[in-house]
Amino acid sequence: MTIKNLGKQVETIWKDLRPLTKEMLVKALNKNFKKQTFSYDAHSDWELSSLLTALDEEVRVKSPDLRTASELRDLAETCAEVLEAQTESAEVFIQLAERALARNDFAKIDKLADVLFERFSAGETAEVIRQTKLAQIRAIAFETLAVLPVTLITPLLDDPLYFDIACNALEQQAIEFESEEARRILEQLEYMEGKDWQ
């Protein structure tokens, strides 16, 4: 694969990648990826996310020869796989979920939902809800919050950005899962606001 054949923007981003990020991609392209274990690296997330955006754009706007098109798609899918294996970022999760939805890849959406539950903090999950424009992604993130322990959700009540999101997740726990702990917290909040929560 010759990077300079994949478009000017892809070439520019590739040149600026740190050696660690390039090494991850090269190993993944050589199918050694499954044997690797990555620790979370926010900088690599940002680099790979930018590269993935550029690759997807090249695939969308250009009509390269079949070989180049195949190389673009392979590198894009490899970027997405590495991101899926390591990311803990709301922005990257949204990017990956939007790609899967655009392709009607519902198996990938299910896998991403598992990643959100297994790896993401309550705060990052709430950030997915806050940032996404797509109802499907918001629903996945709300479902994830709703099954987390109440003790992980309640700290979000202290942040004005996440207060409503946390209340909605607690309400879902109280109603759908009959959580007494969530109900008590909601009743306390309503008491403080002078309302009667039912």
Residue 180: pLDDT over 60: yes
Min mean pLDDT across 6-20, 126-140, 178-192 is at 178-192
| Same domain assignment for residues 3 and 79 | yes
Is residue 139, in this structure, part of any structural domain at all? yes
pLDDT band at 197 (very low <50, low <70, confident <90, very high): very low
| Same domain assignment for residues 54 and 112 | no
Is residue 3, in this structure, part of any structural domain at all? yes
Is residue 97, in this structure, part of any structural domain at all? no
| Same domain assignment for residues 71 and 132 | no
Degrees, nearest 5: CA angle 59-26-4: 45
Q: CA nearest 76: which of 128, 133, 13, 32?
A: 13
- The Cα 171–Cα 178 span in angstroms is 9
| Same domain assignment for residues 145 and 72 | no
pLDDT value at position 134?
97
Residue 196: pLDDT over 60: no
DSSP 121: -
- State mean pLDDT over 4-16: 91
| Same domain assignment for residues 26 and 55 | yes
pTM above 0.75, yes or no: yes
- The Cα 198–Cα 191 span in angstroms is 11
- The Cα 11–Cα 28 span in angstroms is 19
Is residue 98, in this structure, part of any structural domain at all? no
| Same domain assignment for residues 195 and 113 | yes
Min mean pLDDT across 19-23, 40-44, 174-178 is at 40-44
Residue 191: pLDDT over 60: no
Q: Helix, strand, or coil here: 37? A: coil
Under 8 Å CB-to-CB from 113, ≥6 apart: which residues? Answer: 140, 143, 144
Question: Are the C-beta atoms of residues 186 and 170 closer than 8 Å to each other?
Answer: yes
| Same domain assignment for residues 60 and 124 | no
pLDDT value at position 24?
86
pLDDT band at 36 (very low <50, low <70, confident <90, very high): low
- State mean pLDDT over 112-123: 96
Min mean pLDDT across 64-73, 110-119, 189-198 is at 189-198
CB burial readout 42-55, b (16+ within 10 A) else e: eebbebbbbbbbbb
Domain end position, chosen among 53, 87, 121:
87
- Name which residue leads in pLDDT, 98 or 198: 98
Question: Are the C-beta atoms of residues 166 and 154 closer than 8 Å to each other?
Answer: yes
- The Cα 145–Cα 24 span in angstroms is 31
Question: What's the total number of domains in the chain?
Answer: 2
Domain end position, chosen among 60, 87, 114:
87
The DSSP result for 102-158, as a single string, is HTT-HHHHHHHHHHHHHH--HHHHHHHHHH---HHHHHHHHHHHHTS-HHHHGGGGG
Domain end position, chosen among 87, 122, 151:
87
Question: Are the C-beta atoms of residues 186 and 174 closer than 8 Å to each other?
Answer: yes
Strand extents, DSSP E, the chain: none
Range of the domain at 191: 104-198
Is residue 92, in this structure, part of any structural domain at all? no
Residue 172: pLDDT over 80: yes
Residue 1: pLDDT over 80: no
pLDDT value at position 70?
86
pLDDT value at position 160?
95
pLDDT value at position 63?
61
